[in-house]
Amino acid sequence: MIHLKSAREIELMKGASRIVAEILLELREQARQGMSTADLDRIAEDLIHKKKARPAFKGYRGFPACVCISINEEVVHGIPSSKRILKNGDIVGLDFGVIYDGYFGDAAFTVAIGEIPDHVRDLLRVTEQALYEGIKQALPGNYIADISAAIQKAAEAHHFGIVREFCGHGIGRALHEDPPVLNYAGNGKGPKIKPGLVLAIEPMINLGTEKVKVLDDGWTVTTLDGKPSAHFEHTIAVTPDGPEILTRV
């Protein structure tokens, strides 16, 4: 069931989303060679408490940390660890959410550590662009599949692999609400987009094959061919005038 939000609820949701955006920006600025992924998670946890929010992911189905940190061939759901040290040339996916005032915000960004090859930089650029192409289609009167198709078109123009197993989602009082937002055109048009719909749109795009696997830790998703993967996400609200990105500072 889709929960459309009132204008007042969307105002409330801006609180959680702003906190997510501010903390993600801080993580992006602080991420550097020699740090561990546990260091980044600790920075996030301190900031969450300072801002009087609660982490959305810690404890979610038993996930042990505040941020999902996924390096290079890791697609999503990487577990922060003091043994995972960031190196020059890595790309690091930071997926992060909080609860504040009873509502969730959720966003992700992939950051480059030092110098990365041009083809990997293209992957980051195209994945972020695919997110924005999808957001542009979040218009009243369109269908969810219009968002999916725009993301697919942007990724496939570069022959990148679109991860099938994970997708975007509605968001509100729950982290994952209806409707699912696929990153490729599936069956049918999906629900019609109406004002009050709040979505987390999140393309996960691979340099090589679209195929992925889950590691033995039960969480970390990696590409099957070991090539890099990128992930960008925003929480957006559909207004009568079009989409408004909530997870932007």
Contacts with Mg ion, residue ranges (CB under 5 A)? 106, 200
User: CB–CB of 43/181 below 8 Å?
Assistant: no
Query: Given the complex with Mg ion, which of 191 and 208 has the nearer CB atom?
Result: 191
Single-letter residue type at 52: K
Query: Given the complex with Mg ion, which of 21 and 113 has the nearer CB atom?
Result: 21
Query: Given the complex with Mg ion, which of 93 and 196 has the nearer CB atom?
Result: 93
Query: Given the complex with Mg ion, which of 56 and 91 has the nearer CB atom?
Result: 56
Least distance to Mg ion, CB of residue 16, Å: 13
Least distance to Mg ion, CB of residue 89, Å: 27
Buried b (16+ CB within 10 A) or exposed e, 64-101: ebbbbbbbbbbbbbbbbeeebebeeebbbbbbbbbbbe
User: How many residues would you count in the chain?
Assistant: 249
User: CB–CB of 92/67 below 8 Å?
Assistant: no
Least distance to Mg ion, CB of residue 203, Å: 11
User: CB–CB of 79/218 below 8 Å?
Assistant: no
Query: Given the complex with Mg ion, which of 113 and 169 has the nearer CB atom?
Result: 169
Contacts of 218 (CB under 8 A, 6+ apart): none
Least distance to Mg ion, CB of residue 97, Å: 7
Least distance to Mg ion, CB of residue 32, Å: 25
Cβ neighbours around 118 below 10 Å, total: 7
Least distance to Mg ion, CB of residue 166, Å: 9
Cβ neighbours around 165 below 10 Å, total: 13
Angle between helices 7-30 and 37-50 (to 10 degrees): 140
Query: Given the complex with Mg ion, which of 73 and 106 has the nearer CB atom?
Result: 106
